[in-house]
Homo-oligomer: A and B are copies of this chain.
Amino acid sequence: MRKESTLFRCIWWTVAVTLVFLVGFIIGWFAKPSRSPGHNEETSSGRHLRDFLDEMKPDKIREHLRKFTRLPHLAGTKQNLVYAEQIKEEWLIFGLDSVEMVPYDVLLSYPNKSRPNYISVVDQLGNEVFNTSLAEPVPEGYESVSDIVPPYSAFSAKGQPEGDLVYVNYGRTEDFFQLEREMGVNVSGKIVIVRYGKIFRGNKVKNAMLAGAKGLVMFSDPADYCAPGVQPYPDGWNLPGGGAQRGNILNLNGAGDPLTPGYPAKEYTYRYDLKDAVGLPKIPVHPIGYHDAIHLLKDMGGQIPPNNWKGALNVSYRIGPGFTDDFRTRKVRLNVHTNNQVTRIYNVIGRIRGSHEPDRYVILGGHRDAWVFGGIDPMSGAAVVHETVRSAGRLLRGGWRPRRTIVFASWDAEEFGLLGSTEWAEDNAKLLQERAVAYINADSAIEGMYTLRVDCTPSLHTVVYDLTKKIASPEEGEEGVSLYESWHKRDNWTNDRDAPKISKLGSGSDFEAYFIRLGIAAGRARYTKNKKTERYSSYPVYHSVYETFEIVEKFYDPSFRKLRAVAQVRGGLVFLLAHSQLLPLDANEYAVSLKKYAESIAQLAQQHPEDMTLYGVTFDSLFSAVENFTVAARDFHERLQTLDRTDALQVRIANDQLMYLERAFIDPLGLPGRPFYRHVIFAPSSHNKYAGESFPGIYDSLFDIENSARPEKAWEEVKRQISIAAFTVHAAAMTLTPPA
């Protein structure tokens, strides 16, 4: 008995001790955290997003904007360096891990201070009987400010060409075609006058040069730069008659600094001679306001053009060449003495080091240089970036740190051809190609008072919609309404789906090198006008001296709540891209867009059904590639559902596939004739840099059909471009399939 009892006890104890041990073991096992943050972190991430968005304050944005718009700060000037240093200092105070100034020496262009630029009407003796104004009337409060650069066309050729004027509407490709083919006017050796608007001014210059003009005048017509019922500044936000639009007239096609295409403009970098520089115009060009324009236009002779060539001035818009018989002997003379000059510029680059993946970069970049005060362009954007940095700094102090590295950039010399951002992209091309998750652009945050405008790559659609549902509408009387709803209500003119419209990216701002050259997912957001009712281009005072702090404060956004909403969109995107465990990029959306673009380009080709049969042109390979991509994207996102989120490597691998998706659309050989535009799906239109073209290689080759002396050769190029597009989409699909 006793023995048995002892045995029994022994067994009992053994079992008990074992059980307790096992319980301990099991609890220990499960108590130990896995390496990778899982869903819990996602929840805390949501709280941090809220904190981040709520921290951004309208009054702070007002302060930032006020501070950085007191003085003109043209690229390459002392004042723009002063602002750079101030931004660096404040970003450090806000709490960024590091901030550095990154200089480059690039080609800029300034008026000659002792020989002003202007346009004259000269009589037969060569006497100047009319001269355009040398400067814009300075707005109240800024009378004592020096260093306001007068309106000019940066990088214009020097010279004093003289000749008859020809009016060519907006100077678009189709305007010149119409002029030459329908109106029978040849501009060779003439001076062309066009109105600003519709397309990038550099394209107007290129068209005028190709047509043989020896000079170009660009003017702001009230039809394009005045909203009905609005007063000129300072009583309203319309362009005054003495105002004129500055701007560069380069055709860089993404090259960056004209002297160092493809490489950063460092001290040791080889520079081409000016004669070999990229994109410089060969003719003198000068911009004027509408008061001056009247004097040039009013006496013009020649045909009266169709109504869509007529602006809102009280003149007949006759196309010339030259003046009416009464003034037949008078000519127009351009006087342009602008100098090109290699000048030092400064980007400010700030960083928050990522906690888990310091080698993954999310970039928020916008320019700092302004033509004058930059009240809207770019400081409304720069103020928003500043507030984003401040808010991120607050969270950092509270112990938060983003999973990935965030890079903040204050670019220089955007106005001279996206130079600061492009040189930095060239300088860091390898790092960016391998590590950049996304680039969010931060140029002007407001160009109208109507609603949100977003242009972005298709893979960002979903996160834009999701995010804007978490942001409050800035509109009066829309308390409790989300930005998404507010935007949707005003901008529901898409047929595709029940969602507000998101557009393709074009160019004309600093995202270009990141998106079109390097293939980094990119997007931009701003407050905009109502495109259905507001016909004017960009906004009336664009690039004039009237872009002041006051125009924003008095007219565009008195509460600064619109700018706050834009800050929350831009900043929120950066937050989600930098901090979500799984990247919020949506390959399915890319598939949807590709399908749409393929259908649309095929339809365009179908305007030549006989040719297509004759030359054996088919889009089958492209449609098949898109179908293939669609399946790959769907399967990829399905696999994501079952991804083990506690496995850091598996998560990284999936994220790498998402990150590199945009890169898959890059062709290192570039688009025909445009080596720095490498994105096969998106590029700025060859006819208007501001607009985005889908399948640009195919589009341009189709465009050439009309004007080709040898259509069979042109169609060969179409076939080649379709083949490249199909291959690229197939290759992109491959990046989404399981990696082995």
- Residues on A lying within 8 angstroms of B by beta carbon are 17, 20-29, 31-32, 34-36, 97, 262-264, 266, 268-270, 351, 353-354, 356-359, 361, 405, 427-431, 434-435, 620-621, 624, 647-649, 652-653, 656-657, 660, 663-664, 668-669, 675, 678, 719-720, 722-724, 726-727, 731-732, 734-735, 738-740
Closest to A726 in B: B268
Distance from A216 Cβ to chain B, minimum over Cβ atoms (Å)? 32
Contact B28 A720 (CB under 8 A): no
Distance from A21 Cβ to chain B, minimum over Cβ atoms (Å)? 4
Contact of A34 (CB < 8 Å), options: B25, B35, B427, B653: B35
Contact A24 B34 (CB under 8 A): no
Q: Which 3 pairs show the lowest CB-CB distances between chains A and B?
A: A24-B24, A28-B28, A359-B739
Contact B740 A353 (CB under 8 A): yes
Give chain B residues whose Cβ lies under 8 Å from the Cβ of A268: 620-621, 624, 723, 726-727
Contact B431 A735 (CB under 8 A): yes
Contact B358 A405 (CB under 8 A): no
Contact of A20 (CB < 8 Å), options: B24, B357, B660: B24
Contact B263 A727 (CB under 8 A): yes
Distance from A657 Cβ to chain B, minimum over Cβ atoms (Å)? 8
Contact B663 A434 (CB under 8 A): yes
Give chain B residues whose Cβ lies under 8 Å from the Cβ of A431: 734-735, 739
Closest to A657 in B: B359
Q: What's the dominant secondary structure at chain A's contact region?
A: helix
Contact A359 B270 (CB under 8 A): no
Distance from A556 Cβ to chain B, minimum over Cβ atoms (Å)? 36
Contact of A648 (CB < 8 Å), options: B358, B435, B648, B720: B648
Contact B266 A727 (CB under 8 A): yes
One complex includes copies of this chain to the number of 2
Closest to A727 in B: B263
Closest to A731 in B: B430
10 CB-based A-B contacts, threshold 8 Å = A20-B24, A25-B25, A25-B27, A29-B29, A29-B31, A263-B723, A268-B726, A357-B653, A359-B739, A668-B678
Contact A264 B35 (CB under 8 A): no
Contact of A356 (CB < 8 Å), options: B20, B430, B649: B649
Give chain B residues whose Cβ lies under 8 Å from the Cβ of A266: 727
Give chain B residues whose Cβ lies under 8 Å from the Cβ of A434: 434, 656, 660, 663, 735
Distance from A410 Cβ to chain B, minimum over Cβ atoms (Å)? 18
Q: How far is the CA of A274 from the CA of B49 in the complex (A)?
A: 60
Give chain B residues whose Cβ lies under 8 Å from the Cβ of A678: 668
Distance from A206 Cβ to chain B, minimum over Cβ atoms (Å)? 23
Distance from A264 Cβ to chain B, minimum over Cβ atoms (Å)? 7
Distance from A517 Cβ to chain B, minimum over Cβ atoms (Å)? 9
Give chain B residues whose Cβ lies under 8 Å from the Cβ of A675: 669
Give chain B residues whose Cβ lies under 8 Å from the Cβ of A726: 268
Distance from A520 Cβ to chain B, minimum over Cβ atoms (Å)? 14
Q: How far is the CA of A740 from the CA of B668 in the complex (A)?
A: 27
Contact B740 A354 (CB under 8 A): yes
